[in-house]
Amino acid sequence: MSTGEKYVAAAYLVVFVAVLAWVAIIASKLSRLERDVDELAELARRKVGSD
């Protein structure tokens, strides 16, 4: 692999890794939101049960 090829690969890899990291962050945020919604649903169920 020539020096030019290495740098080109590095530039494209940086972008790919950044997008991958963003997807991972969004996935973890999505699972947190899912937990929050579950918690709220449980709260709502309890509130309806007590009324």
Partner 1 sequence: MATALALVFFYAPIDGDQGLSQKIFYIHVPIALTSYACFGWGAAKAFLHLWKRSPGADLESYAAIHQGVIFGALTLVTGSIWARVSWGTWWTWSSNQLVTFLILFLFYSAYFMLRYSVEPGPARANMCAVYALFGVVLIPVSWLSIRLANDFIHPTVFTSNGPQMSGSMFLAFCVAWAGLLTLAGTMYRVELAGKRLDERIRELRELLA
* Token duo for residue 7: 């740098």
List the alpha helices (DSSP H) in 1-51.
3-50
Q: Which long-range contacts (CB under 8 A, 24 or more apart) does 20-24 make?
A: none
Q: For binding to partner 1 (CB under 8 A), which residues are involved?
A: 2-5, 7-8, 10-12, 14-15, 18-19, 22, 26, 29-30, 33, 36-37, 40, 43-44, 47
